[in-house]
Amino acid sequence: MPTQTDHIVKSFDQELEALRRLVVQMGGFAESQLEAAITCVTRRDGELAGRVMRRDADLDEYERQIDAAVVRILALRQPMATDLREVLATLRIASDLERIGDYAANIAKRSLALAQVAAVRPTTGLPRMGRLVQQIIKDVLDAYGERDLEKALAAWREDETVDDLYTSLFRETLTYMMEDPRNITPCTHLLFIAKNVERIGDHATNIAETIHFLITGRTITDARPKGDTSSFVVVSPGDETQAKEE
């Protein structure tokens, strides 16, 4: 049983190791929240949605624990150089994971609004995006655990595919809205759900950048892949067929 003076007898390396494990655990939990949230959308499972929303509090608690551990280490160990970088990196990663959880909870919440309205078609693109983003989170967590720079960079680049998927989903969904006004409400929620998945991808990318900094001591200098061009998308009534074929 741990005692109050436990952190004093533990070695610094052990403390860092415990912190790392906490981050990896939190990451696995965030990833499972995303997976469950996408299932809420595809299966319209209201009960699961409630569970995902409630479990978001656990991610907040993980972040609080990590923050507290970091403050304790900074105060008691006063780490320098690489160790300092490592400790500060965990703060950043925990914050990105916490945001990933928020977006997953919001996806679950919106799936409840979707469940109230008639089924809409364009849901195959969404699970595909979801699976890809889940894989990126997995890879990024592996890269963190194994200090694997190449894996982190590969995951970082993969985010461009997510952005492309999002942009075509955006375009396609607008055309469904134009075809039938009854599609407007569900499709709007779908658009925000897809945007949430895209944002989760961005946070996974942030984590990859933090890992890059952690390993190399430098920030990524390549321009970050920016594939989400949906902000520029204009679809007009009559474009439907063309847009769907693109």
Among 167, 166, 46, 56, residue whose Cα is nearest residue 101: 56
Asked if 174 touches a second copy (CB under 8 A), the answer is: yes
In this chain, which of 13, 234, 241, 245 binds a second copy, going by CB under 8 A?
234
Give just the sign of the alpha carbon dihedral 232, 169, 189, 51.
Answer: negative
Of 4 and 231, CB closest to a second copy:
231
User: DSSP secondary-structure letter at 7?
Assistant: H
Give CA–CA dist 90/72, Å, rounded: 13
Among 189, 186, 205, 198, residue whose Cα is nearest residue 230: 198
Contact of 79 with 5, CB cutoff 8 Å: no
Asked if 221 touches a second copy (CB under 8 A), the answer is: no
Residue 187 exposure: Cα atoms within 13 Å on the Cβ side: 19
Binding mask 65-94 for a second copy (x = CB under 8 A): -----xx--xx--x-xx--xx--x--xx--
Asked if 231 touches a second copy (CB under 8 A), the answer is: yes
Asked if 219 touches a second copy (CB under 8 A), the answer is: yes
Q: Report the interface residues with a second copy, using CB under 8 A.
A: 64, 70-71, 74-75, 78, 80-81, 84-85, 88, 91-92, 95, 106, 109-110, 112-113, 116-117, 174, 177-178, 181-182, 184-185, 188-189, 191-192, 195, 219, 231-237
